[in-house]
Structure 1
Amino acid sequence: MRVFWRGLVAVLLLVSTITPLAQVSAQEQSYIVIVKDEQRLYLAQGDPENPEKVDVIKNFPVTTGALWTQKGLETPSGVFTIIEKSNSPVQGGYDFSDTGDVTLTPYFMRLDVPNRGGIGIHTYTGRTLDLWRFGATGGQTTHGCIAGPPDDIIDLYKNYVRPGSTRVWIVDHPSEAFKDIPGAPKPDRTSVNGKVWRALPSPTKQQLFSVDMVRPDLGWAVAGDATFIDEKYAWESSILRWDGRRWTEETKVPYWLHGIDMLNEDEGWAVGQNYMAGVHRKNGKWTEVDRAVPRVPYMSEVSAINEDDAWMAGGGGEIFTYNGAKWDVFIAPDVMKTIRSMDMLDANTGWVVGGGWDTESEQKETVPMIASYDGKQWASDESPVDELWYGVDAVADDDAWAVGSNGAIIHWDGSAWKSVESPAKNRLSDVAMASARDGWAVGDEPGVALHWDGKAWSRVRLPLEEKFYEVSVLKDGSAMAVGGGGSIVQLVNGSQAPQPAKPKPTKPVNAPQPTPDAGSEPDVPYATQVAESPATTAADPGSVGAEADPTQERTIAGVGAESTAIPAESTQATEAEPTVATAAPTEPQDTPPAATPTETDEGSFPVVPFAAAGAIAVAAGVAVVVRRRA
């Protein structure tokens, strides 16, 4: 018997040299952190919940998805798992460049992002690799993926990533992942001239990209997101309406809408992707309107002057004009230039802003774009700084503002654009002015807006910790802003604002914080009730683009049907159960099936666990033999 135990102990000692490798603890595993504000990927080893025990193995520049290419294509924040590796032409991921090329994205590592199964980490090849730039803050370029230089991505793919186990933290600021980097302090200021921002209930979980208020009790907004219906990914947008008390869903369209501009209750436009002129509201109905097929499939913004005079602009620097009957091309596309915002003051005055980068230079320097309209033609204006411009709004022909990457703000004084000191560091996505002494800007810093008082811009705290994409301000100073996850905030008199909720529990400052799942309630200082929108079948986005009669209009189904609505009064946080929207119950929207971790090329699963299992089996066998001999 003693021989048996000695033999067993000897074998177990042998196994003990293998099992620490096979049973790698959470503290020793490799994981990935992607910091969007830095446009960098960090490969770390250790316990992400205890950064003092973490070693950064390597880091390199990347480019993520952003509002730059199209609204809604931001790389999502959160904690994800790599579920697939593929370097196969059949199973590799695909990304679409602004040139219209479809380029294979090699060494693709797919993430388990809900409703966006095409998001992953990869590199580029060929011409796209020459055009794209990595590590450029404020000018992210993908459609949601994380792309990096070939050598770094290949090393990550072959030597570190294991499908089903490698975790990926995607954060905005490095302070969310690294203890030695302090986070930006939140502003103490919450009111401006006796007015404060309050959170409103939203009828959608989709990202809200654009909002336009006609008067305090009337406005519209557009939202969009990817859907997974009938085992197909597609795009879907909603048009929402504000009646002074609540936001309701007015209709849906089977593609993304990026911008909206309303003249009154019976006249307005919403534009987006899908080679369309957008959707036109006339006499209470929304109808789709075609345009001549351009090279670039999406429009970023629309600005209507009257029923017979409207403008829209977007990808490739294209500009279209509407004469009351049809849309015509005014400026043909310029590849790698994108117009992100437009504001027409009147028939003889307007601006567009945007930019791109120099694809011929090794550094791929930013090339800002500002152009003004004089009633006859568009002409370039000189930008005082090299930033990408995201929003523009004019008060008069000698008083206009533009905001952009890295918190940049510039002002037009009638003769030139000049830089203005900005308290923001993150990208600003929109600006809207009530007057020369009252205006707002919103952007990437969660829960913060900027206010202009006629002398300086200052930071003001918002009630929701979200990024906000657009803000609409009326001449009376009332305002509405919209953003990620269906977020809506309204500027109201202080007496109308709800009391703050109890302080939320302090979270560990050391660890990257995962964002809530799509179905969870937001962790915010004011209650917001989100209701499911009825699922609708979206069209295949690949089936559009055929040339059509530019005057043809098609009524959109769904207008006039009962809408999902939640009273705006239910905004104060309480301990009671959340209010449920009074919409009829619907079947839940399909979600992508859970993917089985796979590898489809020369990569392989770790061999150490199998070696450990084999050693244990050998130990058992030896023990049996020794016992019999004994």
Structure 2
Amino acid sequence: MSEREATRRGVLKGIGVSVAAAMGTAALPGSAAASSPWESVESPTGNTLHDVEYTDAGAYAVAGGGVVLERTELGWKKIIDGGPTGNGNSLYGADVTDDGEALWFVGSSGAIGEYDVESGVLTDHSAPMDVTNNFNDVSVTGEAGEANVYVAGDSGKMYYSFENGASETWDYVTPGSGSAINAVDFFDDRKGHIVDGNKSVFRTQDGSTWNKIGLADANVNFYGVDSDGFDDVWVSGGGGMIFHWDGSEWTPSDTGDAGLRDIEVTDGDDDGYTVGGGGKVYELDGDWTQNETPTGQNLKAVVRGATDIAVGAGGTIVER
């Protein structure tokens, strides 16, 4: 396990425990152990929730219309409405610095925001290099205030800043054919993976140059990626397909027909979740098996912690 993975996963698991303790055992549905069923939780928005992350201050979710939600002792509440610019640009992806202190999110029309979860200060980094294309996902490494920031562009470009998104520090590269980059995840400061709309997976060792590592004859679109190492990569896609790279070969798993929009697997433990269309949740515990959920809404993202959380269309939030 890399130093970044050990830090990030250790911090987030600890965060989950502390939040659950603060809420008490009956504060929110789904705060029981992972063996309990998924339960619906009241949401303060009807907008589609596109991503969810744990920070040092608890869980946050980002949504259409520039909405950002925070999970509190009294339930989920809206803390930002309108996004980093205030123009209501939808937010599609989020990530957290290694110390858990800054939540980054990206979205339509070049929206990029950095939210300090302790102070509540929102910094607008939108339209880097005057780019106002849609941004689909973001990954950040390092600590708050000095992070490396990687933004997946809908036009097939990866935008990056090694100086916390300062306005003059951005650059970009086009890793593939120009197809939309749907997801990005880093397991170390400048090491990670992306998937694009041309059924391709790329890796980088320096944060700026990318090499294709697959996938031949996949025949489905790729939507989610979990990068845990150069020999441990998980990809979720259309047609219920999941692919795992072990450093030498790709192993496919077929869960059914739901498009799987996000995947999160614990590094080295081979346990995790993937979520997608029709409220589908599949759990990895040796094999991928379907969980029962209380929703038929399309799920867009999942995060693991003392309380596991999945979010999706219509403001849907389910917890376990």
TM-score surpassing 0.5? yes
**Which amino acid in 2 is paired with 1:457?**
W
User: Which residue number in structure 1 is paired with residue 77 of structure 2?
Assistant: 248
- Determine which structure has the larger strand proportion and give its number: 2
The one-letter code matched in structure 1 to 2:160 is T
Matched ranges for 1:146-157 at <5 A: none
Structure 1 residue 387 and structure 2 residue 229: aligned? no
Check conservation: 2:241, 2:255, Cα contact below 8 A: no
Where 1:201 maps in the other structure, the secondary structure is: coil
Amino acid paired to 1:464? T
In the alignment, is the contact (CA less than 8 A) between 1:471 and 1:480 conserved in 2?
yes
Whole-angstrom distance in 2 between the partners of 1:425 and 1:320: 33
Compute the displacement of 1:243 (Å). Answer: 2.3
What pairs with 1:600-615 in structure 2 (closer than 5 Å)? none
Separation in structure 1 between the aligned mates of residue 185 and residue 283 of structure 2, nearest angstrom: 20
Aligned mates of 1:388, 1:394 — CA distance in 2: 18
1:316–1:335: 8 Å Cα contact kept in structure 2?
no
The equivalent position to 1:284 in structure 2, one of 115, 120, 123, is 120
* Counterparts of 1:244 and 1:335, CA distance in 2: 46
Give, in angstroms, the shift of residue 245 of structure 1. Answer: 4.2
- SS of the aligned residue for 1:195 comes to coil
Q: Secondary structure at the match of 1:292?
A: helix
Query: Hey, what's the Cα distance between the residues in 2 that align with 1:370 and 1:219?
Result: 29
CA deviation after TM superposition for structure 1 residue 262, in Å: 2.0
1:299 aligns with 2:135: yes
Among 63, 88, 98, which residue is 1:223 paired with? 63
Identity over the aligned pairs, expressed in percent? 25
CA distance in 1, matches of 2:121, 2:67: 14
Residues 333/425 of structure 1: CA separation in 2 closer, same or farther (3 Å cut) = same
Query: Could you tell me how far 1:486 is from its partner in structure 2?
Result: 0.5
Residue 302 (structure 1) shift: 0.6
- The 1-side partners of 2:206 and 2:175 are apart by 20
State the partner residue of 1:488. Answer: 317
> Hey, what does 1:463 align to over in structure 2?
294
Q: Per-residue CA shift, 1:248-291, capped at 9, x if unaligned?
A: 10011221111111235641211011134x11113421122131
Amino acid in structure 2 at the alignment position of 1:458: T
- 2:242 aligned residue: 409
Q: 2:95 matched to which residue of 1? A: 261
Following superposition, the deviation at residue 332 of structure 1 comes to 4.0
Check whether the contact 1:300–1:340 (CA below 8 A) recurs between aligned residues: yes
252, 260, 266: which one aligns with 1:434: 266
1:410 is displaced (CA, Å) by 0.4
- Per-residue deviation at 1:194? 2.1
Please list the CA deviations of residues 214-250 of structure 1 after superposition, one character each: whole Å capped at 9, or x if unmatched.
36x70111111xxxxxxxxxxx221111125411100
**Contact 1:408 1:428 survives alignment (8 Å):** yes
**Which residue does 1:422 correspond to in 2?**
254
Give the whole-Å Cα distance in 2 for the aligned partners of 1:342 and 1:328.
Answer: 17
The one of 48, 52, 61 equivalent to 1:207 is 48
Within 1, Cα distance between the matches of 2:103 and 2:34?
32
Q: Is the 8 A contact 1:391 1:402 kept in 2?
A: yes
| Residues 336 and 318 of structure 1, relative CA distance in 2, 3 Å threshold | closer
Look up the match of 1:118: none
Gaps in structure 2 of 5+ consecutive residues: 1-31, 83-87
Residues 95 and 139 of structure 2 are in contact (CA less than 8 Å); yes or no, is this contact kept in structure 1? yes
Equivalence for 1:341: 183
Q: Aligned partners of 1:313, 1:288: CA distance in 2, in Å?
A: 17
| SS of match in other structure, 2:200 | strand
Alignment partners' CA distance in 2, 1:420 and 1:244: 40
Tell me which amino acid in the other structure corresponds to 1:298: N
- AA in 2 matched with 1:482: V
Runs of 5+ unmatched residues, structure 1: 1-190, 225-235, 357-367, 492-630
Contact 1:345 1:394 in 2 (8 A): yes
CA RMSD in angstroms, aligned pairs only = 2.2
Distance 1:206 1:441, change over 3 A: same
Is the Cα contact below 8 Å between 1:265 and 1:284 reproduced in 2?
no
User: Does the CA contact (< 8 Å) of 1:213 and 1:480 recur in 2?
Assistant: no
Specify the alignment match of 1:272 in structure 2: 107
Counterpart of 2:81 in 1: which secondary structure?
Answer: strand
Query: How far apart, in 1, do the equivalents of 2:75 and 2:150 lie?
Result: 30
Following TM superposition, by how much is the alpha carbon of 1:433 offset from its aligned partner in structure 2, in angstroms? 1.6
SS in 2 for 1:419: strand
3-state SS of paired residue (1:387)? coil
Kept after mapping to 1: 8 A contact 2:175/2:211: no
Q: Is contact 2:201–2:213 with CA below 8 Å preserved after alignment?
A: yes
C-alpha distance in structure 1 between counterparts of 2:105 and 2:203, whole Å: 22
Q: 1:386 to 1:329 in 2, by over 3 A?
A: farther
1:370 to partner: Cα distance = 0.8
CA distance in 2, matches of 1:392, 1:346: 15
Deviation (angstroms), 1:451: 0.6
Give the secondary structure class of the aligned counterpart of 1:196.
coil
Secondary structure (helix, strand or coil) at the match of 2:37 reads strand
Query: Rg larger in 1 or in 2?
Result: 1
Paired letter, 2:58? L
For the structure 1 residues 394 and 463, does the alpha-carbon distance in structure 2 shift closer, same or farther, using more than 3 Å as the test? same
Q: TM-score, normalised by structure 2?
A: 0.78
Distance in 1 separating the partners of 2:101 and 2:304:
20
